[in-house]
Structures are given as C-alpha cells and as structure tokens.
Chains A and B, each alone.
Chain A
Amino acid sequence: MEAGKSRGVIEAGRYAVVKLPSEGLKIVELRSHSTVNLGKFGSFKVDGVLGYSYGQAFEIIDDRNVRPIKSLMESEPTEIDTEEEEITKDKLTELFTASSESNQNIIDIGSKIQKLSNEEIDNLKKSGASSEIGQKIIEQMIAGHEGFDKKTVFSQQKYLRRKQQKFLRRFSVEYLSSTLMLQYYIEKDLPRVLDISPETLGLLMTYGNVRPGGNYLLLDETGGVILYAMLERMIGQGTVLVLHENEHANLNVMKYSNLSEEETKLTVKTASWLLFIEPDTQRIEWQPFTQEEIDQLPPAKKTKYYRRHNRALEINDTLDLIQNGNFDGFISVSTLSMPSVLPYVLDRVGGSRAVAIYNQFKENLLETQHFLQVDKRILAPSIIESRVRPYQTIPGRMHPVMTMRGYGGYVLWGTRVFPAENIQAIGRGMSNKKKNMDRVSS
C-alpha cells in the first residue's frame, strides 16, 4: 500500500503474508515479541523475521527460532550462516542413487508400497518441531518406499518435492500485495472474489488507467480486494468513491491494509446507491452550532453533536463529489445488471475516461456491450479475456502444467465520449444520398 522502503523490509506491527511450501497462504499480523502459529508447519517467533526483506524464506529450527534459507524449495543456507551443514535436496537424492531409465518396472499397488505407517510418521512428527524432523521423515519414507529405485530420476525428484511440501517446516514472509491478497481469497473463498484472477485484476487496473491522483468511481463486491488493488496504485493520492447497495459499504478486506481508518477516509469515500441516484433528496440540512452553543452542551450531548456534525459534513461532501461528477474512470466488479446501472453512471464519468467492467460471465458483458452500442456514450467497447498458463519450468523439460483452475472472468473496456447530434458518417448512407442527388440533378 505504500511506496519505498516499507514495501521492502519486514517490519513489526504490520500485516504480511506467510507462504508455506504447500503454496498455502496465511495473512498474519507481525506483532513484535509474539509467536505465529502455522499449524502442522510449526510456529515461529516474529522477532526472528523482522529486518529481512519481504520474500525471504525461513526454516524453523529449535525453539520456534528461524534461520534464513535461499527459497522454500532450496534449503541451501544463505551467506549469513554458511557454517551449518545439512542435507540438501540434491544430496538427499544422492543417498538413493539407484533410479530407473523408464517407468517400465513400476507396478501400482497403492499405499502398500510405503512401509512406513501413518502412525510411525505421526510419532516422528511429535519427536521435535524443527525442519530436521521433516528431512528425517522424508528420508525414512524414501527408505521405506519399495519402488523408489524403480522410479526415474525425474519422478524421484517430484516425489521428493511433494514430500517436502508436506513435511518441511519452511515458510516465507511476503509483502501483502494486491496479488497476494487476491490469491489469499481465491484459495479461501473463490465465490467471494467473483472468480477474478490476478491477471484479470491487472487487466482491470491497467484498462481502468488507475494511477496516483485519479478520481474514480468503483463498484466492489469482493469486500475490498479491488479497492485495495486501486489504493496500491494510488498511494493516497486521489479519491475512490465506492458505491454500495446496503446501508454501509462492505470493505472488510481493508482491515489488512496497514492503513488507519483516518488514512483510508482521506482517499476512500463511500455512498449508497440511493445517495448516488438521488443526491438532491439526501442532502442534510445542517446548521452548525456556534462555539458558544457547543460549550454550553453537556458532555454526552456534545459528543452526539460532533458525531452528527461530522456525519452531515461527510455526506454533503460525498454528495458534492457525486454532483461534480467528471470521474476519471468507472471500475466495476459487481453482480448488478450493468444495463440498469450504466444510465446512472455514464453521465458522471468524464470525457475520454475509461470504463472497465468486470464480470465472471461473458454473457453478462455481451448484454452490456449491446446496450452500449445503442447508447453511444462509450466508444469502441470490447470484451477482453486474459488467461495465464503456468509451465513446469525445468530446463529441457518445459511443458504447461497439466491442470489449472478454470476461473478468471472478463473485462469490458471502453472510452466515455460525447457523441454529437446529427453527424453524417461516410458510408453506405452517404453514397445513397449522393446517388439521390445525382438522380435529382439528372
């Protein structure tokens, strides 16, 4: 949410993301002198991670202490502590040099191939909390795996990777970027973010021309993930007016934003649809008391007075913002029917500003585009789709991953224009007109 160093270095008192080898994400508050519990991956003392740069991977050693490692999958000790010896991935594979050229000799007998029982694994887990235990479990699992030497080197590595994801007590501390915020909700509750993917979020921010100093109109039904992404690209400069359909806006996600309520209020304004559509009827006639009158109020009434006073100013300010219009863009991630919404919105969007509307269903945007083709206030609307396909990224063995989640949605993008009245286009109508004129003259 902020520029410069605070995006770079892990600091106390902030929300951050903990990434686990299983690729699971957890949003945690880094309170100094506290401990973060990662469930089966163990727990760590916050003080141990402070001062490193975001993205740093750690391994839990004894007594909830950590040490930095190269990455979640490579445990090579980093420059800071090179003295320590340990078994690395490659060394581990070396222990079992026997491997097969092909999978010709593999017979699938399911879990029977593993001699180590779940009970034994559980006992091993209980024997300690450090990452060495994880390594030990993996070693024993390989030893107890009857068909391990019949696997190819590639499949041995894959096996190892899967077990590492399961047993190693490693994690990294990441900056809470909008991508990770979205990723967190995608894993936790995909319908909540209306199926939007990180690539589509990026598309929305770019087509919406979101940048510092802009004054945007936003529909955000994700609880604030979209707002969070916008604020990340505005860093406190400009305003976002969030329209909501209930009495109050649901911006739950902002609790992780590392911004105080006051800071948020400077950039984020909210208005219900009633306020937006009927600003005239919603204005609050407010006569502020004189200082003298205020001074005479009993304390309880004084508080009440100030609350009402601030509320009135806030609402009237928001109404001014709405009535001034000329917004620098309309960004929508909403399930409302756009043909019903846009007639109220388009006049409030400034000339040549972008309109970027997300929907998880192409059909809804199709209807919207047909609506806009008749309306004419949006030039060249298009529906745009972006899908990112990740690859297995190993030199010599590159290929797209075999399955991926089918989600992502679509963005309708167009530009607000002011069509003139009665402009004669050059086209078929034109040549007919000419023909008619020719006929008249001949």
Chain B
Amino acid sequence: MLFYRYKDVIEEGDIVMVYIGRQQMKLVNVTLGEVINTRYGHFEHDKMVGKKYGDQMVGAKGYGFIYLLHPTPELWTVSLPHRTQIVYTPDSSYVIQRLNIGPGSRVIEAGTGSASFTHSFARTLGDQGKLFTYEFHEVRCNEARKELERHGLLAVNTTITHRDVCQDGFEIQGEDIRGDAVFLDLPAPWTAIPHLKHVISKEMATGICCFSPCIEQVDKTVAALQEEGWTDIEMVEVMGRRWEARKDMVRDISDVVKRLKDIQARKTQGIEGRRVVKLQSETATPEPNVSYDSGNKRPASTEEDQQKQSESESKEVSPSQQPPSKFQNLGKGFNPFGKGIRVREGDESYAWTQVTKIESDVKSHTSYLTFARNIPTKKQPEENV
C-alpha cells in the first residue's frame, strides 16, 4: 500500500527506497538479518526498523550514510531495473494531465515494459480506478507481475496480462474493461488500435496516447486512428530538462591586470633577490611588496602558506638552484582566482555568481506522443439526464 499512502515509521517487511546517490537508489524489503552493501559501506536492515522514512542512516562501521526514503513512483522511475526503455516523468506526467486521468479512471496500458509508468498510473487512479496492463514478453511479464505484487499494486487496482495485444486484442474474460484512457507503448500501435473498440467506454470519451520514437510510426498510427474514427489527433514532443544550481567564479579583469603587475614586480625583485642571495645566501627572500584589495578575494597567501613557504625557503638554500617548474609559484603573490590550488565551489574567499547547469546527458528525444480521442455519439435517455 506504500505506493498509495504515506506512512511514517519503518517496520519489518516494509519496502524502503535506499538513497545511495542522486542516480543510485535501491528498493529493499526490510528483512531482519539482512544487510545492504553499497560503495559507501554496509547497512543492516535490523537498524532500519523503527527509523522514520526520511532518516539518514549511518553505516555499520560508523561512517558512510544512506537515506531511507518512502517509495514513490517518481523515485522508483529513477531506481528501477531497466527491462526496456522507460517512460520518464516529464512524458508520463504530461500524458496523465492531458488525458485527464484521475481517481476512478479506467486505464489500458500496453506494454508494461519496465512498469515505470504502471506505478505512476496506479498511484493516480486510487482504489476506485482500474489499470489494465499488458505485456507480450513472457519473462518480462512475469518479472513485472512479481514486482507489482510486491509493491501492492495488484491488490488495489492493477491487473497484468501476458498478451500480444496486436494479435489477440485486449479483452479479458469476465472483465468489463470500459477503458476511458489508453496508453500504447508498442512497436506497431497501429495493429493494436483496431482492437480497442471492443474495450473502450461506450458512454464517455476515451483519450489515447501512442508513444513511438519514429516519425514513420506516427504516420501509420495517425492513419489507423483516422480509419477507426478517432478524432482530435495531435502529435507532440515533450522535452524534459533537469538543471542543477551551481556557482561560477566572478573573474574581474582588473584583478587580471593586478596579478600581471604583481608577477612583473616579483620577477624584477626575483632577479634583484637572486643577486642578493648570491652575495648572502643565508638571508631569506623578502616578501614581494604588493598591496591587495580589501574585498573578499583571497590574499596572496594564508598564514599556513606563509609558514610552509618560509619552511621551504629555509630548506632550499637558493631558489635558483631548483629547476624551474610550473608549480613553483603556487599560492605565492597575488592570486585572485586561486590558480593552482583546489578551490571549492562557493568558497567564501572568492566572489561567485549563481548559475544553472543543465544535466550532462540530456534526453534529447524520448518519443513522439500521438494523442486522439474517441467520442461515442450517443444521447443518454432523458430520464438519466
């Protein structure tokens, strides 16, 4: 029932969405004695019992952590084992919104595939609705059935059928399907469309969405829909994008000039210095004489750096004896952008602007969504009106 209603405290036998990382989640059945292993350590199921959904849990060794999340169709979409290409949330949420699917709707879905959309449908339909999902691949169908059983969907509103609907249609013995929404994610939806007339509602409008990656499939689908009397046919594409909040360093040109001047000054001083060193090798090189901006930019070097610097300088009798290396001047002088040192994004010693960065792998094309509807032109007897 967890896909239909929230609960607060985890008990033995519950399902928990274990959050390991943004794209790494794992659904576990809390079983006493069992352990979940992740790259961040291992975690005992026993310790999950009694915790709240949403709690952060520390690893068995005292470090590393996971979050114990409540299962939802959206988290499941991120975590599920891919049996087939899945329907992602921007597509599925649009289909549900556009077909006006809600509690009490009767939905036909073919094929089940990885059952990602199946979960989303089931959640939205509630216990008054009904979901008929079909899968023609037997192994996938059995896996999906087990999963839907475990997640409590079969007990509430979902029926899964092993069937090639293109060949054998949608009818289920002893079941008056009366679908008012149809989602076809099939290689050849146009072969399934003629079978729909036997299972869609004869009382109310039925909306359909056919989900196909190729434009040629859309062509054939549209022709089949027209042939079968469906109207208001429209194909659309959904483009979903994810953005992350990041910070980008503000690099001011005046700082660039200041730094160049600093380098120049130190170079001259260096030449001067080396001459002095040659004369009196025991004296340390004096600090370059540069004035810094009071702003929030990192000063030339922190105390720690200065210490290290003086240490190394006292060890190296003469800098000129060292072979020149590009890291030789690390942290020295005016370094407004943290060149050569690892700067944490957002480090308060520097100035930043807030930016959004698009996800690194964009789903540039999921599929074409062909919508249409079937209106049974029939006037209900007056007394019912």
Contacts and interface: CB of A to CB of B under 8 A. Distances in A.
Nearest to B22: A380
Given A237-B126, A365-B245, 6 more contacts: A199-B94, A202-B96, A235-B126, A393-B222, A398-B218, A425-B64
Contacts of A153: none
Nearest to A353: B6
Contact of B74 (A178, A209, A237, A383): A209
A19 to B, nearest CB: 10
B49 to A, nearest CB: 15
A358 to B, nearest CB: 13
Contacts of B241: 384-386
B54 A415 contact: yes
A46 to B, nearest CB: 11
A400 B54 CA distance: 43
B97 A50 contact: no
B254 interface: no
B234 interface: yes
Contacts of B229: 70
Interface stretch (A72-80, A103-111, A255-263, A280-288): A72-80
A201 B96 CA distance: 11
Given A199-B90, A353-B6, A383-B245, A54 B54 contact: no
Contact of B128 (A3, A51, A353, A382): A3
Interface stretch (A8-16, A160-168, A271-279): A8-16
A423 interface: yes
B292 interface: no
B126 A418 contact: no
A11 B385 contact: yes
B231 A74 contact: yes
A101 to B, nearest CB: 23
Interface in B45-60: 52-58
Interface stretch (A128-136, A143-151, A367-375): A367-375
Given A79-B377, A80-B377, A386-B239, A326 B8 contact: yes
Contacts of A379: 19, 67, 69
A164 to B, nearest CB: 15
A420 B65 contact: yes
B377 A423 contact: no
A179 B98 contact: yes
A201 B204 contact: no
Given A9-B380, A55-B375, A235-B126, A201 B97 contact: yes
B50 to A, nearest CB: 13
B158 to A, nearest CB: 14
Interface string B99-128: 010111100000000000000100110111
B378 A382 contact: no
A5 B203 contact: yes
A391 B220 CA distance: 15
Contact of A352 (B53, B65, B201, B237): B53
A12 B243 contact: no
B74 A393 contact: no
A206 B8 contact: no
Given A53-B204, A80-B379, A352-B54, A393 B123 contact: no
B112 to A, nearest CB: 19
A223 interface: no
Given A373-B245, A383-B243, A203 B89 contact: yes
Interface string B124-138: 101111000000000
B244 A382 contact: yes
A383 B19 CA distance: 19
Contacts of A206: 73-74, 89, 92-93, 96, 120
Contacts of A68: 377
A211 B126 contact: yes
Nearest to A231: B102
Interface in A71-105: 71-72, 74, 78-80
A225 to B, nearest CB: 13
A234 B241 CA distance: 28
B72 interface: yes
A395 B235 CA distance: 11
B205 interface: yes
9 contacts: A5-B203, A53-B377, A178-B97, A198-B97, A202-B98, A351-B53, A369-B244, A381-B245, A390-B235
A418 B123 contact: no
Interface string A170-207: 00000101110000000000000000001101110111
B93 A203 contact: yes
B300 interface: no
A17 to B, nearest CB: 12
Interface in A380-423: 380-391, 393-396, 398, 400, 410, 413, 415-420, 423
B237 A8 contact: no
B41 interface: yes
B286 interface: no
